[in-house]
Amino acid sequence: MPKKKKEDLAVLTVETDANSADALAATLEERWNRTAVQIQRPNSNQVWIEIYFERDLEAVLAAHAVRNWPRVIAAQPRVCRNRDWQSFWKHHFKSRPIGKHLCIRPIWEKETPTPHGRKTIWLDPGLSFGTGEHFTTRFCLEQLDRICDANAVKTMLDVGTGSGILAIAAARLGVQRITAFDHDAQALEQAQSNIRLNRVTHKITTSVLDLERNAFPKGRFDVVCANVYSRLLIEAAPALAQATRHWLLLSGIREFELDSVAETFMALGGQETVRDGDGEWGGLVIKWKRSSST
């Protein structure tokens, strides 16, 4: 494959049929812990599923791994040039109001006014996902908006920050101290860029940590947001519970897995207070009753 420039992206494209697309996309997401994008032409039974990587070799190895999977017709790695990636986001990412107070806006819409009374979150997605378009991110934003509107939230932990959207939202909603981490150093660079873009660097601390190794900052946080996969949520449940003072927002969960995730956290002393889904993905709010000193 041609040499990849600094901001180019490696893409794995997997071809399948329409009946198999959802299940295959879910399997790909679980295997590589990345968002899968489905592309289908009108009146066609063919579907192309794309997974994005930072390095060419990752896409090449992934293509070799999946070519013999059931339901896979073809798998091809390629390089997506930075200009193509920018075009993708400009087509798919538009301004969106979230909850009562927030408005997510791409940087290329700076000339248009923000809806009155809403707090703007400016985003350049770059190589990361997390724009509020997907249910999993939107659920966390809506619940964070609701909780901050009704309570004095001083601290927040953003687990798997991605584009930094949840950390920035917390800062916009008045949270004073936010800690955000991600296992992907390149995604974290984009989060840091978005944090600077929104002028909230004084409120947010970022670091590269791996949830699979139960790597957590010390202390407890009023709100903990974890928008990752169910397997990781269940494996890291004791550490997530320990880090949460009051509210734990969980997303990235397939709807059929909501019960098992909720039961895991309730067994640790949490109480399920909110459950929502879109028919495919779901989210939970788990609450703990702890004093402000614990």
Residues 136-175: pLDDT tens digits? 889 999 999 999 999 999 999 999 888 899 999 999 999 9
**Gap between the Cα atoms of 152 and 146, Å rounded:** 11
**What is residue 153's predicted lDDT score, i.e. its pLDDT?**
96
Rounded to whole angstroms, the Cα distance separating 57 from 167 reads 31
In the chain, DSSP assigns E strands to 9-17, 36-39, 46-53, 74-80, 96-98, 102-106, 119-123, 155-159, 177-182, 204-208, 221-227, 244-254, 271-277, 281-287
Task: Give the pLDDT band (50/70/90) at residue 223.
Answer: very high
Which pLDDT band, with edges at 50, 70 and 90, does 1 fall under?
A: very low
Q: For the whole model, what pTM was predicted?
A: 0.73
CB 16 within 8 A of CB 24: yes
14 contacts 71 by C-beta, under 8 angstroms: no
**What would the pLDDT profile of 14-51 be if each residue is shown by its tens digit?**
999 988 988 898 899 888 888 788 887 667 788 889 88
Residue type, 125: P
Considering only residues 200 and 59, tell me which one the structure prediction assigns the higher pLDDT: 200
DSSP letter, residue 206: E
Q: What is the pLDDT of residue 156?
A: 98
Cα separation, 19 vs 46, in Å, equals 9
pLDDT in the model for residue 86: 57
- Which domains does the chain possess? 9-84 (3.30.70.260), 134-287 (3.40.50.150)
Q: Which residues of 35-72 are buried (b: 16+ CB within 10 A; e: fewer)?
A: bbbeeeeeeeeebbbbbbbbebebbbebbeebeeeeeb
Mean pLDDT of 235-244: 94
Q: In terms of Cα–Cα distance, which of 153, 152, 136 is closest to 249?
A: 136
